[in-house]
Amino acid sequence: MKQKRFFLSEEDIPRSWYNIAADMPNKPMPMLNPQTLKPVTLDELSQIFCRECSEQELNVTDRWIDIPEPVLEKYRYYRSTPLVRAYGLEKALDTPAHIYFKNESVSPVGSHKLNSALAQAWYCKQEGITNVTTETGAGQWGTALAYSAKVFGLEAAVYQVKISYEQKPYRRSMMQVFGAQVTPSPSMSTRAGKDILTRNPNHQGSLGTAISEAIELARETPERCKYTLGSTMSHVSLHQTIIGLEAEKQMEMAGEYPDEVIACFGGGSNFSGISFPFMRRNLMGEKHTRFIAAEPASCPKLTRGKFCYDFGDEAGYTPLIPMFSLGHDFMPANIHAGGLRYHGAGAIVTQLVKDGYMEGMDINQIEAFDSGMLFARAEGIIPAPESCHAIAATIRRANECKESGESRVLLFNLTGHGLMDMSSYDQYLRGNLINYSLSDGEIEKYTQKLGGL
């Protein structure tokens, strides 16, 4: 019988994260202090993030960074996550492609986000921090941070994008079960939130608004409270590389190597996590794998955004980040993939896309859910709406293989399960979901204020 799932022994779980910046021919451009327009310093960045994460953010020389033993100990509760050959999906598509997926939905909180949440919480604890703040869209990151804070004895405050707070009540409940304070954003609890609601009383929120509120709360007491982030930043991508490092070893066990690596894309955490270790082989000239970031057609920063310096939040509290952006005040459509409704891409992915090593692919909402339904019925796992975008891109490529007769090895990241997102599946089954598209004029409206690079 053909083997379907591949696991690593506890001894084979990676003990270091991979820092791709050390191997990039063109380093990512530096973040800038918006007041001085000079590269942000470690001390400046440490006013927002804990110092260790700030050091990792600025590190472009060390290829490998050791995973602290207390974090490794927590990883061992759920890692390695399985690499799965999707025989059911292959049969349903009648494709010659070999399809594999890395199943990150088996973590205690149901997604890949725990890989960085545990690391950030532990680093904050070591620094003497007592409170952490963050934003969350669909709630996967907020749940991971809430759990990690409880594990390491911290208090957590989470600002959840208002539309997701309303669409996904059980994600909110999960965060509260783990002891976090959850506030729908924008709110009246911060200056940033008040300003946004004054301009637009019916604002349904974005990740940019929630980030502003979380950073403002952290800046009120920087000596005991730090901001933590679930995507976009380089140190988050670093922590997530354990996904791809495991997948490398597991693909060896399967006797194959991916021709294409695919993941959904919001700010870049899971896409970076699975792709960077394989990208290492491309950068060394050993392989020629294709890398596809599947983003919502309603939030197409990689394919239609502007390469520029932009803020990571709506209020302008973050450093200026070199990114493909739709503008930090971009108001995304109310799609159910709340974790992908972010206006910009991380600096490393931006540079790699700019240099032609990676590419974006736009997926509309109904195609994503069509694909998620097909996957669920073929493989028995209901995927998160975010993950449905990666599945849709994989199905596109598998169907192209069917047309050409080419047998390619496709690997995608299943970022999380959709059991807390069943209200969105209810909407799909009732025929109530719609696609959202952006005209060139709408994109120009948001990006015209951005300076190009």
Domain range annotation of the chain: 69-110+235-447
Determine contact, residues 190/217, Cβ cutoff 8 Å: yes
Sequential DSSP letters for 253-321: HHT---SEEEEE-SSSHHHHHHHHHHHHHHHTTS---EEEEEEETTS-HHHH-EEEEEESSSSS-SPEE
| Pick from 98, 1, 4, 76: nearest CA to 380 | 4
The pLDDT > 70 percentage for the chain reads 99
Residue-wise pLDDT tens digits, 325-362 = 999 999 888 888 778 989 999 999 999 999 999 999 99
Helix (H) or strand (E) holding 50: none
Report in angstroms the alpha-carbon separations of 32 from 43, 211, 310.
13, 18, 10
When pLDDT is cut at 50, 70 and 90, the band that residue 448 belongs to is confident
Give the residue-averaged pLDDT of 279-291.
Answer: 97
Q: How much of the chain is helix, strand and coil, in % rounded to 5? A: 45, 20, 40
Residue with tokens 């890398």: 291
Sequential DSSP letters for 399-438: HHHHHHT---EEEEEE-BB-TT-HHHHHHHHTT-------
In this prediction, residue 190 carries a pLDDT of: 92
- Torsion angle of the four alpha carbons 398, 402, 403, 405, in this order, in degrees rounded to the nearest 10: 120
Determine contact, residues 302/265, Cβ cutoff 8 Å: yes
Helix (H) or strand (E) holding 363: strand 359-363
In this prediction, residue 326 carries a pLDDT of: 96
The yes-or-no verdict on residue 158 having pLDDT over 90 is: yes
The distance in angstroms from the start CA to the end CA of the chain is 54
CB atoms < 10 A from the CB of 317, how many? 20
The yes-or-no verdict on residue 446 having pLDDT over 60 is: yes
Residue 128 to residue 117: CA distance in whole angstroms:
17
The yes-or-no verdict on residue 77 having pLDDT over 70 is: yes
- Torsion angle of the four alpha carbons 433, 435, 436, 439, in this order, in degrees rounded to the nearest 10: -160
Task: Record the pTM.
Answer: 0.96
CB atoms < 10 A from the CB of 42, how many? 11
Determine contact, residues 228/121, Cβ cutoff 8 Å: yes
Name residue 313's amino acid: D
In this prediction, residue 452 carries a pLDDT of: 66
Give the residue-averaged pLDDT of 60-74.
Answer: 98
In this prediction, residue 451 carries a pLDDT of: 72
The yes-or-no verdict on residue 3 having pLDDT over 90 is: no
Q: What is the CATH number of domain 69-110+235-447?
A: 3.40.50.1100
Residue 268 to residue 103: CA distance in whole angstroms:
17
Residue 376 to residue 370: CA distance in whole angstroms:
10
DSSP E strands in 152-223: the ranges are: 155-161, 181-185
Instruction: Report the chain's mean pLDDT, rounded to a whole number.
Output: 95
Determine contact, residues 285/313, Cβ cutoff 8 Å: no
Give backbone dihedrals phi and psi of 132, rounded to 5 degrees, phi first: -130, 145
Residue-wise pLDDT tens digits, 131-149 = 999 999 889 999 999 999 9
In this prediction, residue 284 carries a pLDDT of: 96
Residue-wise pLDDT tens digits, 216-234 = 999 988 789 999 999 999 9
When pLDDT is cut at 50, 70 and 90, the band that residue 205 belongs to is confident
In this prediction, residue 1 carries a pLDDT of: 54
When pLDDT is cut at 50, 70 and 90, the band that residue 453 belongs to is low
